[in-house]
A and B are shown apart, each in its own frame.
Chain A
Amino acid sequence: MAKETKSKWNGFSLKPRKEMPEGLWMRCPACEHMLYRSAVEENLNVCPECNHHFRIEAATRIKYLADEGSFQEVLGDLTAEDKLGFKFRDTTYKQRLKAEEKKSGAKEAMRIGKAFIKGRGVVLGVMEPNFLMGSMGAVVGEKFCVAVDKAIEETLPLVVVCCSGGARMHEGVVSLGQMAKTSATLAKFDEAGGLYISVLTDPTTGGVTASFAMLGDCLIAEPGALIGFAGPRTIAETIKVELPEGFQTAEFLLERGFLDMIVHRKDLRSEIARLIDYCGR
């Protein structure tokens, strides 16, 4: 399900992009302006010229979203098992996992924990786009469910920042099953009256969109984020038609009625806090 995509619009590709090359200067893939790196970082990794939201790793996301030092991670050391004995092109899944860990510094494609957002206690889940394209395997599914359990136990709102290429191929039907598992757990959360805010960031596709990402009580997206079921290239190849401009962007989904709001990264904290206050817990 994790489909490789290459689109003609900059800013949408699922491929790990070199959009932040080391150095003092960088080019914005959307408006092509040369930008001073520290200015971009100060601006929450958003292009000051055109508001292009750069993809950010989980640690940075937590820093932006949670009150300083409030994130208490759980299950941080949970790592994937190779239940299938998956081998491809002289590599094994195990080796690939090690390489990804080295590359990204993350242990898996999701981090969960308790945190405060503007003083409101939440259970926070954040996906890691740099770890195997943020794909969902058994660990991501399990962590998500544990986050829901915690939210039920402590009657806290659940906030999950989605960023994923979909289900993880290397775990076969086990990863497909995570879609059912996370959705079933959300049904329990719903019955317990819990508030679930799902934040969709670039990119959210495949099995993650078709399960917990779309099941939020409230769906928030970042501007310009690619959100969809099938990747744009798969669609283009299957139906052999030019895709309309802006197809599968957050703005496109909002117009079609599948999102509650699009929120600039700088306003995310206050918007989430306000929603929590409205829902009164």
Chain B
Amino acid sequence: MRGSLIIKMPDNNNKIGNGDYLDFEEKVAELDRQIEELRRLSSIKGIGYFAEIRRLQREQVTELKRVYSNLTAWQTVQVARHPKRPLLPDYLDLMVKDFRELHGDRCFGDDRAIITGFGQIGREKVLIVGQNKGKNTKEKIACNFGCPNPEGYRKALSKMKFAEKYGIPVVTLVDTPGAHPGIGAEQRGQAQAIAVNLMEMSRLRVPVICVCIGEGGSGGALGIGVADKLAMLEFAYYSVISPEGCAAILWRDGSQAPDAAEALKLTSGDLYKLELVDAVISEPLGGAHRNVRDTVYNVEKYIVKTLRDLKRTKIDNLLESRYRKLRLIGKCSVTSDSAKSKPGKAKIKSTIKAVPTKSRRIPAKV
């Protein structure tokens, strides 16, 4: 069941049921109802309404294209949190061959919100580090709704060190509302665990690719998100704080989350423009939840291609450009004072610009 072997599936391979429409998809839902009704009539009366059904389907495609090309930031957050959106297990099933999970942080426990293990993507042996939110209630509780505890971050780091020892590249898949805010998490040093990961990942001597596949919740996401290349799915989001949390503080009203989402510039498009992500991976028509296979396939293609590029680079050069990239985040306007202390800064900046670091957008297969 590998991505590259997948035969083209019908558009709706992930069944979107009644409760799965988002509130801005009313018209799409209505068209689905009409199509369903015509199909039912066809089977009862034996009259073929095929032409009519095709017309409605075309209309629906147009509507989905219209809606999804103009999503607001808040709507994007809703798509990123859609209950049917593909989660880590989908990627492990469809994209990773021969996955061997590695458990435990050798210290406290085995956090189920972060899954780590060896596997093969394309022809490459990699270490996968991914955040899992869980599909059903039982799974969700088991993996704490995708909110990792310190042992999750420590497990991730210990497996990354293992991979580093044998030159195995690391692929991380980010999907978390945030690191868990709890008594135990604080007692076991949530902040310390994340901080150490940030420092160690910045100097990990193997290529690191990070793809944000759903929610990129603040430090909880960044804790496995320091990479040579950072990509985002089209309707994923990445933010310093949840829109609800930001609204509660700055608007003093959690219900202003849509405004906060807009202000935080958390969509893939905005972050790409701000040069904070390297690539945006397209999602199929109507979002990842409407076509799991194509979504995973697009991600796989991105990883395979990027890995090939990164492996061509000498590891010392790779580490240097990883550091430069991090160092240039939010570069400040050079005042007279800082110009004095950093003479080479402008030159470094222009050199970095001259190196093509941006990956192309990958067109979605629909």
Contact = CB atoms under 8 A, between A and B. Distances in A.
Interface of A: 1-4, 74-78, 80-81, 83-84, 86-89, 137-139, 141-142, 145-146, 149-150, 167-181, 183-188, 190-191, 206-207, 209-215, 228-230, 234-235, 238-239, 241, 243-244, 247-248, 256, 258
A173 B241 contact: no
A146 B330 contact: no
B219 interface: yes
Counting chain B CB atoms within 10 Å of each CB, the highest count among A1, A239, A244 belongs to A1
Nearest to A184: B202
Contacts of B249: 2-4, 169
B64 interface: no
Given A74-B338, A138-B331, A167-B218, 16 more contacts: A75-B337, A78-B338, A88-B260, A167-B241, A169-B241, A172-B239, A180-B202, A186-B199, A207-B219, A210-B219, A211-B198, A212-B195, A229-B190, A239-B183, A247-B186, A258-B192
A77 to B, nearest CB: 5
A183 B222 CA distance: 12
Interface of B: 179, 181-183, 185-192, 194-196, 198-200, 202-203, 218-219, 222-223, 225-226, 238-241, 245-246, 248-251, 259-260, 263-266, 271, 274, 276, 322-323, 326-327, 329-333, 335-338, 341-342
Contacts of A174: 274, 276, 329-330
5 tightest CB-CB pairs across the interface, nearest first? A138-B330, A230-B181, A184-B202, A177-B329, A183-B198
A86 to B, nearest CB: 5
Contacts of B241: 1-3, 167, 169
B349 to A, nearest CB: 13
Counting chain A CB atoms within 10 Å of each CB, the highest count among B203, B239, B263, B329 belongs to B329
Contacts of A239: 181-183
A146 B341 contact: yes
B335 A77 contact: yes
Nearest to B192: A214
A86 B198 CA distance: 27
A3 B186 CA distance: 15
Contacts of A258: 189, 192
Contacts of B260: 88
B330 A175 contact: yes
Given A78-B332, A169-B250, A184-B199, A146 B342 contact: yes
